[in-house]
Amino acid sequence: MNNDSTGKPIITSDPWSKLRTFTDARIALGRCGTSLPVKESLEFKLAHARARDAVLVPADMVSLANQLELQGYSTIQLESSVVDRMEYLVRPDKGRLLSETSSIALQHHGQRNFDIGITVCDGLSGPAIHENAYEGVSGFLECVAKTELRVAPVCLVTNGRVAIGDEIGHLLGCKMMILLVGERPGLSSSNSLGAYITYEPKPGITDEARNCISNIRTGGMSIAEGVRKITYLVESGLALGKTGVELKDKMSSSYLPLQGLIPSL
Amino acid sequence: MSTGRNFREMSLKELLAKATPRRSGDELAGVAAKSEEERVRAQMALAEVPLRRFLSEAVIPYEKDEVTRLIIDSHDSEAFAPISGFTVGEFRDWLLGDEADIESLAELAPGITPEMAAAVSKLMRMQDLVLVAAKCRVVTSFRNTIGKAGTFSVRLQPNHPTDDLQGIAASTLDGLCYGCGDAVIGINPATDNVENIVRLMQMLDSLIDTYSIPTQSCVLTHVTTTMEAIKAGAPVDLCFQSIAGTEQANRSFGVNLAMLQEANEATLALGRGTVGNNVMYFETGQGSALSANAHHGVDQQTLEARAYAVARVYNPLLVNSVVGFIGPEYLYNGKQIQRAGLEDHFCGKLLGVPMGVDICYTNHAEADQDDMDVLLTLLGNAGCNFIMGVPGADDIMLNYQSTSFHDAAYIRKLLGLKPAPEFQAWLESMEIHNSAGVLQPVDVSNRLLAMSREEGK
C-alpha cells in the first residue's frame, strides 16, 4: 500500500532522482514526514553491517599464502604483538610491533639483504585482502621477475598496522618495503586496499617518509593501475634513494613498469 | 585507596587526567585512572581545587608552548572576578543555578580558561552538560546569523571521492531541498592542489550567487592553500583550518598562531560578508594531540578545550568538533563518543566559542546510528549551533558516517527550531520551507531544480 487512507502517497518522493547518475552519495532518498523511508533506512543498516563485518572478520592469510606458494612465491606468516581483534582497535602501538615469536622467526631467517620486501597486512578490512591482495602481489612480482631485483619472501601479517613493515624490512635487510593494507571500510566501499612504499625501512620512521596509494579496488583505482603506480614509485624511489614527501608522483600515461630496471639483452 | 598516591600532591595535569570519564585515548596515553574508584576519588579531589590554582599552574609549561602563553596572556581577570573565589565544585554548582544566565555567562567567558572549563565538565553528568550549555548563546554572522535562540544550522557537506563538480552539485541540491546549508556549504576536497581548490571555490560561489542564497562557502583545505587561493583571486568566504590544543600538535598540522592570524587578516580583507565578519572555520576533535604524539601527558578532553582557546582569538563563524572521526583508539564506543560530544560542546560554549558538532563514527568503532540519534537529540536540547548534513549520513569521500539532511530535519521538527533567519526567508521564497519552517514537497517546476537540469546536460 503506497497511499494513506486519504489516497495521498505516504512517501514524499524527490523529483531529482536522475542526479544519482552523478554520485554514489545517498541523494533523492525521499521522506515520510521528514524522516527516512524504511527501505532506505534498512539499506543503510545493511551497508553498515557489511562494513562492520569487514572490520571484525580476520583476513584469511593461510589461503593467500597457499595461492602465492602455488605460483612459486615463498611466504612467511607473521603476527603483530596484539592479542586479539579488540586489542587491535585500541592499541595502535602494539599493531606496529611484531610479536616476539614473529620477530625471532625473522631474525633467524636464513637470507638477508633484499632489494624489495613485500608485506601484506590485514589492517581494517579482510575483504580488501581477499579480493585484491593476491592479484596485487602477483601482478607486482611478475613485473619484478623481469628485473634482477632480489625480492624477499612475501610477509603476511595478522593484526598489523602500516609501520610494522618498517620492522620487517629492517630485520630482512630490504632496501624498499611495499606494504599492502586493508583500509578503513566506508559504507560504499569495504574492500579498499592501500599501498605504502618506504625506502630503507627501519623502526621509528614516520609517515612523511612514505608514499601512499589508496582506494585500490574494483570501482576505485583498478588493481592493474595500482600495480603500475607501485612499480613507478618503487623504480623512482630506488633511483632517488628516498621515498616520501620528496618523491612526487609524476607518472606519465605511457609509463611501462620497471622498464628502467630490466637488463638489456 | 589502592594507588597509594595522595591526590593533594598531584599536579593539576595528573588530577585532570585521572578525573576524566573513562576513555580509550587516555588509557592508550597511560594517563587515565587505574580503577573506577580512583577516577571518582580524583573527581572528589578536583572538586576541592580552587579555580585560582589554574592561573598559577599550567598543564603544559608557559615557556614550552605558545597555546599556554596565549591562554595565560589573554586571560581577563576582571571577567574572572565573580568566580575567583570558587573551587571547581562550587563553580559546577553555580553554573547550574539561576544566577548563571545568558548574560552573566557571556560576560564570564573571557575569564574562563580552557582547563577550568574542562575541569568543571569532568564533575558534570550528561544533563548538567546539556542544561548549562543551553544557557550559553554564541551568535556569529557572515551572510546570515548563526546561533540565535530558536535556530539550528547545518553545514551542507557534499563531498565526492574525485571532486566531480556534477556529483558535488547533485548533493548540494539535495541538501538545499531539505533546508540544509545555512552554516556553510563546505567541501572536503579529495585532492589538495590549488587549481582544484580554486575550481571548487568558484563553483560554490557561482551557485550561491545564481540563486542568491544567504549563506557562505568553504573548501576545507590547509590554511596555506587557502592563502594561495586568495592570492590567485579565488572567491574565498571562510578560511578553514584544523587546530589542536598544543603548539606541537598544531605544528603537526603545519600551522602556528602567527599563520592563523595572517590567514584571518587576509580573509577579512576580502570583505565578502554581508551581515557580519566572522570569517574563520575551525575543526577540532579529541585525540588529535595524542595521535600526533604531542599530548604532554595531558588528557585528551583538556587538550580539546585548549583548542577552543586557540579558536576564540580569531572570532570564528563556526567551530566544529568532529567528535568520532579518528577512531576507537581515542573514543571507543557510542557511550564515549556521546559523552565527548557533549563535553566538547559545553566547554566551547562556556569559553564563548560558536560550537557545532560533527556527530559521527567510523566503522571500526562500537557505534551506530542509534548512538548518533541519542547524541543529536542531546545536542539539539543543549543549543548546539550546527551539525553536518551529509546525504544519507554516509560520507563517500571520507568513509565515515555522520548526520544526514533527514537528521537535521528531525531535530528541527522535534524541538521547533528553524534555520538561520536569513536562510529561512530564502527557503520560504524558494518554496522549500513554509513560514512555520516545515519542509514542503518540492515541485518539479521548482526554480532550484533548474540547477539539476543544468547539471544534467
3-state secondary structure chain A: CCECCCCCECCECCCCHHHHHHCCCCCCCCEECCECCHHHHHHHHHHHHHHHHHHHCCCCHHHHHHHHHHCCCCEEEEEECCCCHHHHHHCHHHHCCECHHHHHHHHCCCCCCEEEEEEEECCCCHHHHHHHHHHHHHHHHHHHHCCCCCECCEEEEECCCCCHHHHHHHHHCEEEEEEEEECCCCCCCCCCEEEEEEECCCCCCCHHHEEEEEEECCCCECHHHHHHHHHHHHHHHHHHCCCCCCCCCCCCCCCCCCHHHCCCC
Q: What is the pLDDT of residues B256-285, one digit of tens each?
A: 999 999 999 999 999 999 999 999 999 999
Q: What is the pLDDT of residue A264?
A: 67
- B394 grid coordinates: 554516509
Query: How far out from the chain centre does Cα B304 lie?
Result: 10
Q: What is the pLDDT of residues A30-47, one digit of tens each?
A: 999 999 999 999 999 999
Residue among B159, B363, B404 minimizing CB distance to A185: B363
- Cα A43 to Cα A11, A128, A255, B160, B376: the distances in Å are 16, 21, 41, 20, 21
Q: What is the pLDDT of residue A207?
A: 73
Query: Is 90 exceeded by the pLDDT of residue B8?
Result: no
Query: Is 70 exceeded by the pLDDT of residue B457?
Result: no
Residue with the three cell numbers 602500516: A162
Mutate to test the interface with B, among A90, A122, A216 (most CBs of B within 10 A): A90
Query: Is 90 exceeded by the pLDDT of residue B453?
Result: no
Q: What is the pLDDT of residues A10-37, one digit of tens each?
A: 999 999 999 999 999 999 999 999 999 9
Task: Answer yes or no: are the C-beta atoms of B184 and B216 closer than 8 Å.
Answer: yes
Name residues 106-125 of chain B within 8 A of A (Cβ).
none
Tell me the torsion sign for CA atoms A210, A208, B296, B83: negative
Residues 6 or more apart whose Cβ sits within 8 Å of residue A85: A56, A58, A159
- Cα B32 to Cα B12, B14, B26, B27: the distances in Å are 13, 9, 5, 5
> How many Å is the maximal CA-CA distance in chain B?
74
Task: Answer yes or no: are the C-beta atoms of B305 and B117 closer than 8 Å.
Answer: yes
Provide the 10 A C-beta neighbour count for residue A255. Answer: 16
Look over chain A and give the mean of its residue pLDDT values, rounded to a whole number. Answer: 92
Q: Which residue of A has its CA nearest to B28?
A: A91
Q: pTM of the full predicted structure?
A: 0.91
What is the C-alpha end-to-end distance of chain B, expressed in Å?
A: 72
- B18 grid coordinates: 585521572
**Is any Cβ of chain A less than 8 angstroms from the Cβ of B253?**
no
Residue with the three cell numbers 632517488: A240
Name residues 15-54 of chain B within 8 A of A (Cβ).
24, 27-28
Task: Answer yes or no: are the C-beta atoms of B240 and B259 closer than 8 Å.
Answer: no
Spatial CA neighbour of B400 closest among B368, B359, B360:
B360
Q: Are B401 and A91 in contact (CB < 8 Å)?
A: no
Q: What is the pLDDT of residue B454?
A: 59
Q: Are A15 and B443 in contact (CB < 8 Å)?
A: yes
Task: Answer yes or no: are the C-beta atoms of A138 and A121 closer than 8 Å.
Answer: no
Average pLDDT, integer, range B153-178: 95
Q: How confident is the model at residue B300 (pLDDT cuts 50, 70, 90)?
A: very high
Query: How far out from the chain centre does Cα A52 lie?
Result: 17
Backbone torsions φ then ψ of B386, nearest 5 degrees? -160, 160
Residue among A16, A92, A93 minimizing CB distance to B173: A16
Q: How confident is the model at residue B456 (pLDDT cuts 50, 70, 90)?
A: very low
The reply to whether ipTM tops 0.85 is: yes
DSSP H helical ranges for B211-316 = 223-231, 247-252, 257-268, 288-291, 300-312
- B40 grid coordinates: 571518582
Please count the CA atoms within 13 angstroms of the CA of B245 that sit on its side-chain side.
33
Q: Is A43 exposed, middle or buried (0-12, 13-18, 19+ CB in 10 A)?
A: middle
> How many Å is the maximal CA-CA distance in chain A?
83
Average pLDDT, integer, range A66-91: 94
Q: What is the pLDDT of residues B38-51, one digit of tens each?
A: 999 999 999 999 99
Q: Which residue of B has its CA nearest to A36?
A: B406
- Residues in chain B with CB shorter than 8 Å from the CB of A122 are none
Mutate to test the interface with A, among B156, B171, B174, B453 (most CBs of A within 10 A): B174
Spatial CA neighbour of B25 closest among B345, B434, B343:
B343
Q: What is the pLDDT of residue B340?
A: 98
The one-character DSSP state at B356 is E
Spatial CA neighbour of B424 closest among B160, B185, B153:
B153
- Residues in chain B with CB shorter than 8 Å from the CB of A184 are 327, 362-364, 399
Q: What is the pLDDT of residues B77-115, one digit of tens each?
A: 999 999 999 999 999 999 999 999 999 999 999 999 999
Q: Which residues pair with A155 in a beta bridge?
A: A76, A119
What is the C-alpha end-to-end distance of chain A, expressed in Å?
A: 74
- Residues in chain B with CB shorter than 8 Å from the CB of A44 are 369, 392-394
Look over chain B and give the mean of its residue pLDDT values, rounded to a whole number. Answer: 95
Q: What is the pLDDT of residues B45-77, one digit of tens each?
A: 999 999 999 999 999 999 999 999 999 999 999
Q: Which residue of B has its CA nearest to A27?
A: B391
Residue among A27, A90, A189 minimizing CB distance to B329: A90
d(CA B410, CA B377): 9
Using the CB atoms, write b or e for B76-85: b if 16+ within 10 Å.
Answer: eeebbeebee
Name residues 38-67 of chain A within 8 A of B (Cβ).
40, 44-45, 47-48, 51-52, 54-55
The one-character DSSP state at B288 is H
- Residues in chain A with CB shorter than 8 Å from the CB of B167 are 22-23, 25
- A42 grid coordinates: 534498512
Residue with the three cell numbers 599464502: A65
Q: What is the pLDDT of residues B323-379, one digit of tens each?
A: 999 999 999 999 999 999 999 999 999 999 999 999 999 999 999 999 999 999 999
Q: Which residues pair with A158 in a beta bridge?
A: A79
Average pLDDT, integer, range B11-26: 97
**Is any Cβ of chain A less than 8 angstroms from the Cβ of B363?**
yes
Q: What is the pLDDT of residue B194?
A: 83
Query: Is 50 exceeded by the pLDDT of residue A151?
Result: yes
Residue among B159, B166, B404 minimizing CB distance to A22: B166
Using the CB atoms, write b or e for B363-384: b if 16+ within 10 Å.
Answer: bbbbbbbebbebbbbbbbbbbb
Backbone torsions φ then ψ of B185, nearest 5 degrees? -100, 110
Provide the percentage of residues in chain A whose pLDDT is more than 90.
70
d(CA A84, CA A262): 43
Q: State how far residue A19 is from chain B, nearest Cα, in angstroms.
A: 6
